[in-house]
């Protein structure tokens, strides 16, 4: 029994480490008929951004991170943009319960006060998704959408929160422009 416990503790520690370091999973979609080289300027789509159900502080953090990425890709912020940038967010709480006890096993013969040695562990985490939409201003059509999903930090440390937001945005924007597309 002790051997099993000694073997599972490092495995549990490894799994906790791996899941705590899970990066952002990204998927993107785009209009195949679009020439992405024709887009040079951008602005934020206030109407869409206002609908995102997150705090105004987090919205500003996300928008600053998007602006940084767009400027790094050669875009210019403009009052008369080629594309509008909008965001949408989703989150869901995940609760995991696991029993790492011994089950209905006692020690020795007969009755044991340790007959049910079970230990329940509960963990909660928040899985978040950030959608970044690029909308052609002339056609008023969605031309590209990137979605990043991952675990959100529940830390009150603002630097960690900002770093996680920057990571989400940077990972999503790596998918723009679509590979093999101008």
- Quote the mean pLDDT of the chain: 81
Please state at what angle helix 56-72 crosses helix 158-173, rounded to 10 degrees.
40
- Adjacent-strand bridge partners of 90: 129
- Domains, the chain: 36-97+116-182 (3.30.160.670)
Q: Is the pTM of this model over 0.85?
A: no
pLDDT band at 153 (very low <50, low <70, confident <90, very high): confident
pLDDT (average), residues 6-32: 64
In sign, the C-alpha dihedral spanning 153, 156, 159, 161 is: positive
d(CA 150, CA 27): 12
Between 129 and 102, residue with greater pLDDT: 129
**127 — pLDDT class (breaks 50, 70, 90):** confident
The reported pLDDT for the residue numbered 118 is 52
Average pLDDT on 63-77 reads: 98
In this prediction, residue 11 carries a pLDDT of 42
Of the two residues 92 and 84, the one the predictor is more confident about is 84
**Cβ neighbours of residue 79 closer than 8 Å, sequence gap 6 or more:** 43
User: What gap in Å lies between CA 45 and CA 140, rounded to an integer?
Assistant: 11
């Amino acid at each position: 029994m002790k051997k099993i416990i000694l073997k599972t503790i490092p495995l549990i520690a490894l799994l906790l480490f791996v899941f705590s370091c899970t990066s952002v999973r990204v998927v993107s979609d785009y209009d195949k008929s679009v020439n992405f080289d024709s887009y040079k300027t951008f602005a934020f789509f206030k109407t869409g951004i206002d609908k995102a159900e997150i705090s105004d502080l987090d919205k500003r953090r996300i928008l600053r991170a998007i602006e940084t990425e767009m400027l790094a890709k050669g875009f210019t912020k403009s009052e008369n943009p080629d594309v509008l940038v909008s965001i949408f967010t989703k989150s869901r709480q995940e609760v995991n319960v696991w029993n790492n006890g011994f089950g209905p096993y006692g020690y020795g013969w007969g009755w044991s006060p340790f007959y049910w040695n079970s230990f329940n562990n509960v963990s909660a985490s928040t899985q978040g998704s950030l959608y970044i939409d690029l909308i052609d201003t002339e056609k008023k059509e969605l031309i590209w959408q990137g979605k990043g999903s991952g675990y959100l930090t529940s830390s009150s440390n603002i630097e960690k929160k900002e770093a996680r937001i920057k990571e989400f945005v940077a990972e999503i924007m790596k998918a723009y422009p679509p590979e093999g597309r101008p």
